[in-house]
Amino acid sequence: MVKNEHIPWSGMDIAASIFPATLTLSQTNLFRLSCDFNEPVIKSKIEEALKNILPRFPYFQVELKKGFFRYFFEKTDLFPCVEEDPLCPCMDYQIKSHSLPFRVRVHNKRVAVEFSHALTDGFGALTFLKSLAGEYLTLCGVKIKDWKDIFHKEETPLLEEEEDGFLKYNKPDIPWPPVIGKSFHIPGHIRNLYMITTGIIPLSLIKNKANDYKVSINDFLVSVCMYAIQEIEKEIFSNKIFFKRPPIRVLVPVNMRTIFPSKTMKNFVLYVTPEILPSLGFYSFEEILLRTHHYLRLEIDPKTFSRHIFRSVNTSTSPFFRFMPLFIKDRFLSFFSWFYGERTFTTSLSNLGFIKIPEEMEEHIERFDFIPPPNDHTGVNISVIGYKNNLNINFGSLLDNRLLESAFFKNLIKLGISVKIETNIKGEKNMYCPSCGVELDSSLETCPLCSTKVEQKIKNQTVFLQENTKDRKKRIIIASLFITIVFLIPALILLSISHLKENFRWALIPLLSLSIVWFTILIIIIFFRQWKKILLFFLFFIPLILLFLDWITDKVFGWSLYFGLPITGVFYLISFITAIIIKKIPGSLRLRLAVLCFACGTFLPILEAIISLNILGKINIGWSLICSSVLFPLGGLFIIMSWIISGSIIKNKIFKP
C-alpha cells in the first residue's frame, strides 16, 4: 500500500461541485445508510468506534469552505458527535453551516450515517458504515477473522481513494450526450416533511419472479416503477384532451467503479434514464420490461458514459466557468442541475445491490436500510438494498400524497409478491390491510397504499416524524422584522415632517397606504404558498380598506362603491378562476402564460366598462378591445407553442451542443 501524504485542503470532485449550489431547506442532498443490530446500541462504544475508524477515512474528516471562485474541502481535527436519531432522516442539515459534511445517529438498535452527496456516493458511504459497524462489534468483543472488503483501522489510506474518477477517465473532444426534454412529475405539494415508506420483500420471491421474465431484479423493479407511474399519469390526463402527455423516465444511478477500474471514495456515479412515451399508447408491463431490459444493456457502456464524463469535466474546467464568481456560479449550477437533471426524469431508483459482510458480523446485524436524498423537484425518490433474506425498498417523499408508493406496491402484490409496509411510525406488532392485503405496521390508522382504515391493536402510539417548524418560524420572524424596519423608516420620516409642519392630516393617507402595503406583505410571508388563505384574506380585507379610505377623505361612500368594489370583485373572481385553471395544468409554463393572457384579455374590457358607465353614464369600450385583440391571439400562440415546440425533435435541434 502507498501511504497518502494528505494535503490540508482539496478541491471537490467534478460531480460534487453541483450539490452545494442546489441546497434548499428541504433539498439537503443528504442520503442515509443504516444497520440494525440484534441488541441495543451502546452509544459510548459507537463514539469510540467512530474515533478509531475515521482516521482510515481522512478524506471524510473535512469541512466545506467557500472561496471567491469555488467551494473546497479543508482538513479538520473535529469529530462528528453521535446524535440521537429522531427517525426524521436527511433533514435539518445544511452542509454550509455545519462542521462536517456527514453525521452519525443512533436509536435503540440502529446506527445510521447520513452523508452529503458533495462528499461521497452510496458506495463510499456503505464502505464507511460497514467499517464503523465492524469496529463497533470488535469493541464489543466480536472477533472478525476475515474483513473482506471492509476497511480496517490499522490499514493505511491509499492515494487512489482520493482521486477524481471523472478527471482520470475523461476523454476530450468527443460529442456531448443529447439533451433530453422535460418528463412527467408526480403531482403534489412539496412540504418540509420527509416521509419514508418502506416495503420489505422476501428476496427469494422477487428473485424467482425476475427469473421468470429472464431479467435482473433491478430491471424488474425499474419496470414496476414505470408501470406504476404510467397508471398515475393516465388517471391525471384522462380528462385533459388538449394536453400532450410528457414522457416517463426513471433515473437509474450506475456505479462507475464497475465500468472504469477505480478505488476512489469520492463521487463516481453516472445515470441512465429508461423511458416510455405514454402519448403513443398504454404500455403493458411486459412491454415496459422488455424495453427497460434492453435499454439498460445498451446504455450501460463505457463509450456512452464517456460522453457524460466529458460534458461534466468540460463544463467545470472551462476558463469561463472556473473564474466565474461563486455567487454567480451557484445560480448557473442550479440551472445546470435542473436543465440536465431534475427536469428530465420523473423519479430515481437507486439500487445498492446485495450487502455481503463477514459471517461474524452477520450474526449481530439484522438489517440494512438505504434512504435516498430528498428532492423538491421530483418530490419522491426510491432506493433499494438487499441483505440476508429480504429486499428493502425505501420511498423518500416530500409530497403530500402517496400516489407512487401506493401504485408501486399494489402492482407488486398483483404480481404475486408479498410486501410488508413500514413508515416513520413506531409499532411492535403487525397486521394486514383488509382491502389490499398488504402487511402493515400495527400503529398505522390507515393503510398508506389504499387509505383503508384498519383496526388498531396498540394504543398510545408514538409518532416520531413531526414537521420541523422551527426553521420556518425563524425565517418568518426575520423576514417580518426586516419588512417592518424597511417600512418604519419612511413612516418615521413622514411623522417627523408632520411634526415640523404641525399638520398631521396630510400624512394620514401616505401612512395608511404604507400600513396597508406592510400588512399585505406580512400576510404573504406568513401564509407563503397557501394561496387560498391569501386570496380569502384579500377578498375581505381590500374592500374594507377601500371603504375606510373613502370615508375618511369625504365622510361619505362615493368612489369606493362605484369604482373600487366592482373592480375589486371582478378582479378577484377572474383571479380565482385563473388560479384554479393554472393549478390543474400539469406544469406547462406556456399553457399557464396562455391562461394569464386570456384572463387579462377578459378583465380589461370589464374594467373599462365599469369606468365608462360611472363617468359617461353608458358603456363605452375602446382601448381595452385593442389590448384584448393582442392578448387573446398571444394566448393562442402560447398554446400552439406548447403543442409544437415541446416536441423532443425540435428541442434537440435547438439545444444540440
Does position 260 have pLDDT exceeding 70, yes or no? yes
Of 22-26, 33-37, 122-126, 415-419, the one with minimum mean pLDDT is 22-26
Amino acid making up residue 384: V
Please, are residues 457 and 429 in contact by the beta-carbon 8 Å criterion?
Answer: yes
Question: What type of residue sits at position 238?
Answer: S
272-287 average pLDDT score:
92
Q: Cα 589 from chain centroid?
A: 20
Q: Which of 32, 33, 39 is nearest to 137 (CA)?
A: 39
What per-residue confidence (pLDDT) applies to 477? 78
102 grid coordinates? 456527514
Is the CB of residue 217 less than 8 Å from the CB of residue 430? no
Instruction: Check whether 227 has a pLDDT greater than 90.
Output: yes
Q: Which long-range contacts (CB under 8 A, 24 or more apart) does 285-294 make?
A: 285/223, 285/224, 285/227, 285/411, 286/213, 288/223, 288/226, 288/227, 288/230, 289/213, 289/215, 289/219, 289/220, 289/223, 292/215, 292/219, 292/222, 292/223, 292/226, 293/215, 293/216, 293/219, 293/223
Identify any residues that bridge with 254 across adjacent strands, giving them in sequence order: 270
What SS3 string covers 469-498? CHHHHHHHHHHHHHHHHHHHHHHHHHHHHH
Residue 40 DSSP SS3: coil
Pairing relationship of beta strands 248-255 and 347-354 according to DSSP bridges: parallel
Question: Pick from 157, 168, 218: which is nearest to 15 by CA?
Answer: 168
Listed ranges 36-40, 166-170, 533-537; the one with the highest mean pLDDT:
36-40
CA terminus-to-terminus distance, the chain: 43
What pLDDT does residue 386 have?
A: 95
Q: Are 146 and 60 in contact (CB under 8 A)?
A: no
Q: Span 128-147, mean pLDDT? A: 92
Question: Distance between CA 136 and CA 44 in Å, rounded?
Answer: 10
CB 396 within 8 A of CB 90: yes
CB atoms closer than 10 angstroms to residue 416: 10
Rounded to whole angstroms, the Cα distance separating 472 from 25 reads 9
Q: Enter the C-alpha cell of residue 231.
A: 397508471
Q: 471-488 in b/e burial notation, b at 16+ Cβ within 10 A?
A: eeeeebeebeeebeeebe
| Least confident range of 241-250, 453-462, 550-559 | 453-462
| Residue 230 grid cell | 404510467
* Mean pLDDT, rounded, for 615-633: 81
Q: Please, are residues 104 and 133 in contact by the beta-carbon 8 Å criterion?
A: no
SS (H, E, C) 546-575: HHHHHHHHHCCCCHHHHHHHHHHHHHHHHH
b/e for 520-540, b at 16 or more Cβ within 10 A?
bbbebbebeeeeeebeebbee
The pLDDT assigned to 480 comes to: 76
Q: Is the pLDDT of residue 107 over 60?
A: yes
pLDDT tens string 68-93: 777 888 888 888 889 888 777 888 77
pLDDT 10s digits, 343-363: 889 999 999 999 999 999 999
Backbone angles phi, psi at 119, to 5 degrees: -95, -45
The DSSP letter of residue 58 is T
How many residues are present in the chain? 657
DSSP letter for each residue of 413-472:
HHTT---EEE-SB--SSEEE-TTT--EEETT-SB-TTT--B------S--B------HHH
What would you report as the CA-atom Rg of the chain, rounded to the nearest whole angstrom? 29
C-alpha cell recorded at residue 241: 384532451
Of 138 and 20, which is predicted with more confidence? Answer: 138
Query: Amino acid letter at 208?
Result: N
Residue 440's pLDDT band, with cuts at 50, 70 and 90, is: low
Q: pTM for this one?
A: 0.69
Report the percentage of the chain scoring pLDDT > 70: 77
Q: What element of type H or E holds 322?
A: helix 319-322
At residue 323 the predicted structure's pLDDT band, cuts being 50, 70 and 90, is confident
The reported pLDDT for the residue numbered 445 is 61
In the block, cell 441512465 appears at 272
Residue with the larger pLDDT of the pair 297 and 15? 297
Choice among 185-194, 345-354, 530-539 with the minimum mean pLDDT: 530-539
Of 613 and 355, which is predicted with more confidence?
355
